[in-house]
Amino acid sequence: MRTTRVTVAALVAAAALALTACGGETAKTDSVTQITSQSKTGKATVLDRPFDKPDLVLTDTTGKPWNLREQTKGKPTLIYFGYTNCPDVCPLTMSNIAVAKKALPKADQDQLQVVFVTTDPERDTPDSLGAWLRSQDPSFTGLTGDFATIQAAARTLGVGIEAPKKQADGSVVSMHGAQVIAFSPKTDEGYLLYGEGTTIDDYTKDLPKIVKGENP
């Protein structure tokens, strides 16, 4: 599989990939730059300078504190920021990962950590988040908490998110970067980035190497 290399500096300077309004539109904001080398190819982007794992403590779907660094230390980990009321991008992303994960040997499935951090904590309570994730894969971890804390953590990974806003029709939209960050079990650093166009086949091909902390 061909990979694309970009620097963390380039990602952070861009603030994030274009924010996605989970209704199919892209946010129009001058402060965010689209990085087209990885956003639509469905290929892994290998970061020359990996991201540090955020020092983040939120609430899991059982209502208990969950320390991201401690709970995922030494484990292959995928992190995604989204929300359960998203009609398209978020459920598709989680579904693609869930299907690809099932192709792994059982031991590798048990090792892989998939963490979904809500960008809409007011509506995504532990109970509602847990119910939504169980329909995707019961092993997925869902985290909710203070929006400012979540936003700050996302920015350290080059993921831009905005506070949910009510639309004229009464619906609530959460704008967020749609990338998935893969963290190595060897270094606990985020070294791979996947964009919105990543398919089940892409994840199926890459997950065996991600579990080992290798480049796809």
Per-residue tens of pLDDT for the chain, all 216 residues:
444 444 444 444 344 345 665 644 433 333 332 233 343 344 799 999 999 999 999 999 999 999 999 999 999 999 999 999 988 899 999 999 999 999 999 999 999 999 999 999 999 999 999 999 999 999 999 999 999 999 999 999 999 999 888 888 877 777 889 999 999 999 999 999 999 899 999 999 999 999 999 999
- Strand ranges, E, within 53-164: 57-59, 65-67, 77-82, 113-118, 141-143
Reading the block at residue 128, the tokens are 């509602």
- Strand ranges, E, within 137-188: 141-143, 165-166, 172-173, 175-176, 180-183
Helices assigned H by DSSP within 78-124: 89-101, 106-111
Reading the block at residue 135, the tokens are 């329909």
> What whole-number distance in Å separates Cα of residue 132 and Cα of residue 88?
14
- Please tell me the pTM assigned to this model: 0.83
